[in-house]
Structure 1
Amino acid sequence: MSALDTAHPPSIFSDGTISDVNRSPLIDSANALDAAGFSGPAIGMSTNPHLCCLKRIDPARNMARYYTLSVEPTLFGDAALVRQWGRIGTRGQFKINLFDTTGAAETALQRLRKIKEKRGYHPEMS
């Protein structure tokens, strides 16, 4: 027996078969998410191009707020405008508005963005 065999002896099931379940290497597959060289989302997945993150910070008024707008597809082929807002560092609140088309949701996103920018919100700089 090698050192590996003594560290992890095979387990025998009631039907007499031997299982080597715990003998796999640290990464079971070259396609695993924790594999070396993983550099982003899987093929076919994309990031959301319809996303707007705004912040309003005023230390004099102890104000640190965020407002996030995004257009997301629904399961029924419609578009949803998802709004999330609150104090930075908190989960905040959210509201979902449904639209028939992505274009209509994008128009609403731009309208709300202009309103928030007039109230002192600025795009988040990453």
Structure 2
Amino acid sequence: MELLKIKTEQFEGPLDLLLFLIQKNEMDVSAIALHKITDQYVQYIEMMRELNFDVASEFLVMAATLIHLKSRRLLPQFQDDLVTAGAAGDAPTSEEELVRRLIEYKKFQEAGRKLLEL
């Protein structure tokens, strides 16, 4: 199975790497054209004869999280809410949840690759 590679003016590579770079503040989420990523994903689905729904659902969760993070970055009141939530320490921030999901996603990717090798 060929993994989806994202290509925009600002980034070229796997989606999980893009999310990781955004998490580490090495890329600005507000500079990413999310519609281009979505268009590439739709083309990817059309190319696939048999779609693995677990992989598709993981992509949709990460895409939704990217959209959520970008909207928080673009709207100042959400930035204040995020700082307050992180300072309180009582609930994980969106970034922490995304990192957890990325780790889980990588595990599934590796398991899928191993299954394909059988």
Structure ID, larger Rg: 1
Q: Of Structure 1 and Structure 2, which has the larger fraction of its residues in helix?
A: 2
Q: Does TM, scored on the shorter chain, surpass 0.5? A: no
Q: Which has the higher contact order (CA 8 A, sep 6+)?
A: 2
Q: Of Structure 1 and Structure 2, which has the larger fraction of its residues in strand?
A: 1
Q: What TM-score do you get using the length of structure 2 for normalisation?
A: 0.28
